[in-house]
């Protein structure tokens, strides 16, 4: 892969090449990507979607929106620092007009949108949709779908749904948000289809990145950027855009450290653990006198968090630059932080977060409720839309369809596309809206 092609400013529908040197420096194309994402309805819904603690009543626990903004800030810093060195290594890029800010803008845009496809109720939302089609009432559709279409449903993936949101053509709107292909490529952490599932241990095979409904859009992006094809069969699988590694690292840094911080502030993790585990990350940069001068737990934890993020940002930049050539060849098979010298410390923090936060009664109880809510809402709307297409809609089905936004009502003779419409509708719901709608569907108007 080569950087000039990987930094493509092309957008869906372009008939001519966009040249970096011709860009308006006051609002670059990659900055436009970020702006379009921020103003999208899908991004706004993240303000009421679970990050770790579902539906928390406290004012400092992170939602998907605040998490995404934080990841974008970290991602921008990493991208700029990497870009500064890459421009020195590849002077032709500077000749074409690229600056280190371009790298930061691309990574920031892809970072701020990395969770845009996640359903309500955290990662359990993805699993709830999958379970509905695997073992719930949705399993009856298996025989009418192709193997890969059915796999998309039973292994519903927020990353693939995010690509759908960013690129899906609707009536009057072609190419979704029409982001630059550089940003779309950087967003794609898993540039493969749902099958075969985990064919190798390479990081790109961990999950999948697009549904069958967006296969052509994905291939258009991959070919424009010159991504290397990984699969030697007819199955679609490519190696990552190099900058996708930076998005992944920014996300890993934020959820590892900031979820841990949330757990401490909520009292789920003792502050003593914070000092014990984080000190191993920040021992070379901490000012112990300053730390002990902070009177409030929140301030002490915040100080440790800032230092820890700084340390891991430095590690990310160093590892990426040391492995640039290998990454461009598609041969770097792990996440960047899986190769850092603090891997053991990161794993220690994640382990205690799993034990004390992710498995806490508050989290588990609300995830269980989310399973029920998502399954019920899917069942009502999938049946209504399908029955309407078949001409067997009941009065109840017709009433239900009146609740469905117009963009999801257009029926198609393709069962997979009808089902995906409803999955898309449900996945865009905020936690609170899903709860309110579920109550109404069950006859509770209070």
Last residue of a domain, one of 359, 376, 410: 359
What pLDDT shows up at residue 262?
Answer: 87
Q: What one-character-per-residue DSSP string does 123-163 give?
A: HHHHHHHHHHHHTSGGGGGGGGS-HHHHHHHHT--HHHHHH
For residues 215 and 306, give the distance between their C-alpha atoms in angstroms, rounded to a whole number. Answer: 40
Greatest alpha-carbon span in the chain: 74
Q: Are 184 and 167 in contact (CB under 8 A)?
A: yes
Is 83 inside a domain boundary?
no
Structure tokens at 90: 């590849």
Nearest to 337 by CA among 279, 280, 254: 254
Shortest CA distance to 171 belongs to which of 412, 366, 372, 423? 412
Residue 128 within any structural domain of the chain: no
What pLDDT, on the 0 to 100 scale, is given for residue 363? 81
Decide if 353 contacts 51 (C-beta within 8 A): no
Looking at residue 169, what is its pLDDT? 87
What is this structure's pTM? 0.95
**Please, are residues 30 and 106 in contact by the beta-carbon 8 Å criterion?**
yes
Residue 321, classified by CB atoms within 10 Å of its CB into exposed (0-12), middle (13-18) or buried (19+), is middle
Strand partners, 43: none
Query: What's the rounded Cα separation, in Å, for the pair 410 and 432?
Result: 26
Same domain, 306 and 340: yes
pLDDT tens for each residue of 98-152: 999 999 999 999 999 999 999 998 888 999 999 999 999 999 999 999 999 999 9
- Same structural domain, 256 and 345: yes
Query: Residue 341 is part of a domain; what is its CATH number?
Result: 1.10.3410.10
Per the domain annotation, does 262 fall within a domain?
yes
Q: Assess contact for 381 and 425: CB atoms under 8 A.
A: yes
192 by DSSP, 3-state: which?
A: strand
> Based on the domain organization, do 261 and 344 belong to the same domain?
yes
317 and 271 share one domain: yes
Whose tokens are 């191993």? That residue is 280
Domain containing 332: what range? 244-359
259/303 same-domain check? yes
Given 359, 380, 395, which residue is the final one in a domain?
359
Instruction: Note whether 305 and 66 are within 8 A (CB).
Output: no
Residue 253 φ then ψ, to 5°: -60, -50
Same domain? For 273 and 252 the reply is yes
| 252 found inside a domain | yes
Question: 407-418 pLDDT, tens per residue?
Answer: 888 777 899 999
Same domain? For 336 and 401 the reply is no
Residue 378 and residue 350 in one domain: no
Task: State the Cα–Cα distance between residues 242 and 328, nearest whole angstrom.
Answer: 6
Residues 387 and 409 in one domain: yes
Q: What is the pLDDT of residue 195?
A: 98
Whether 341 and 399 share a structural domain: no
According to the model, what pLDDT value does residue 446 have?
A: 63
Q: Kindly state whether residue 43 falls inside one of the protein's structural domains.
A: no
Residue 161 belongs to some domain of the structure: no
* Number of structural domains the chain divides into: 2
Q: Give the residue ranges of DSSP H helices in 329-414.
A: 343-353, 361-390, 395-403
385 lies in the same domain as 309:
no
Q: Is residue 148 part of a domain?
A: no
Domain boundary among 322, 337, 359: 359
Q: Which two tokens stand for residue 75?
A: 């991602």
Whether 279 is covered by a domain: the verdict is yes
Sites in the chain below the pLDDT cut of 70: 53-61, 446
Under 8 Å between Cβ of 123 and 156? no
Residues in the chain: 446
Q: Do 384 and 434 fall into the same domain?
A: yes
Place of tokens 């410390």: 345
């Amino acid at each position: 892969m080569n950087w000039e092609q990987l930094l493509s400013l092309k957008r869906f529908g372009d008939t001519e090449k966009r040249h970096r040197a011709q860009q308006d420096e006051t609002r670059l194309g990659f900055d436009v990507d970020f702006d379009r994402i921020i103003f999208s309805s899908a991004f706004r819904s993240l303000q009421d979607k679970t990050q770790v603690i579902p539906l928390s009543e406290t004012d400092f626990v992170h939602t998907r929106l605040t998490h995404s903004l934080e990841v974008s800030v970290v991602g921008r810093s990493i991208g700029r620092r990497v870009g500064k060195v890459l421009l020195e290594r590849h002077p032709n890029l500077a000749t074409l007009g690229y600056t280190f800010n371009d790298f930061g803008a691309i990574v920031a845009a892809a970072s701020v949108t990395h969770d845009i496809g996640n359903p309500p109720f955290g990662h359990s939302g993805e699993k709830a949709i999958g379970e509905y089609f695997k073992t719930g009432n949705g399993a009856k559709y298996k025989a009418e779908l192709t193997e890969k279409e059915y796999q998309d449903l039973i292994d519903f993936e927020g990353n693939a749904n995010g690509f759908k949101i960013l690129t899906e053509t609707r009536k009057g709107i072609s190419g979704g948000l029409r982001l630059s292909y550089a940003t779309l490529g950087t967003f794609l952490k898993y540039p493969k289809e749902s099958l075969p599932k985990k064919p190798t241990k390479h990081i790109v095979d961990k999950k999948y990145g697009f549904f069958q409904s967006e296969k052509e859009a994905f291939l258009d992006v991959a070919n424009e950027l010159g991504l290397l094809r990984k699969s030697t069969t007819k199955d679609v699988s490519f190696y990552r855009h190099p900058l996708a590694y930076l998005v992944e690292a920014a996300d890993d840094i934020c959820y590892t450290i900031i979820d841990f911080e949330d757990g401490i502030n909520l009292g789920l993790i003792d502050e003593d653990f914070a000092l014990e585990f984080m000190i191993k990350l920040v021992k070379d940069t901490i000012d112990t006198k300053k730390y002990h001068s902070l009177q409030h737990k929140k301030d002490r934890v915040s100080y440790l968090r800032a230092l820890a993020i700084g340390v891991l940002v430095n590690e990310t930049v160093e590892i990426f630059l040391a492995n640039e050539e290998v990454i461009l060849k598609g041969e770097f098979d792990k996440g960047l932080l899986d190769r850092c010298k603090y891997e053991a410390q990161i794993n220690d923090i994640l382990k205690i977060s799993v034990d004390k936060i992710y498995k806490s009664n508050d989290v588990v109880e609300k995830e269980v409720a989310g399973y029920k809510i998502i399954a019920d809402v899917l069942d009502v709307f999938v049946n209504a839309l399908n029955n309407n297409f078949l001409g067997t809609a009941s009065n109840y089905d017709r009433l239900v369809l009146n609740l469905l936004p117009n963009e999801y009502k257009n029926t198609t003779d393709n069962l997979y596309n009808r089902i995906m419409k409803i999955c898309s509708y449900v996945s865009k719901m905020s936690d609170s809206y899903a709860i309110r709608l579920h109550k109404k569907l069950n006859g509770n108007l209070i």
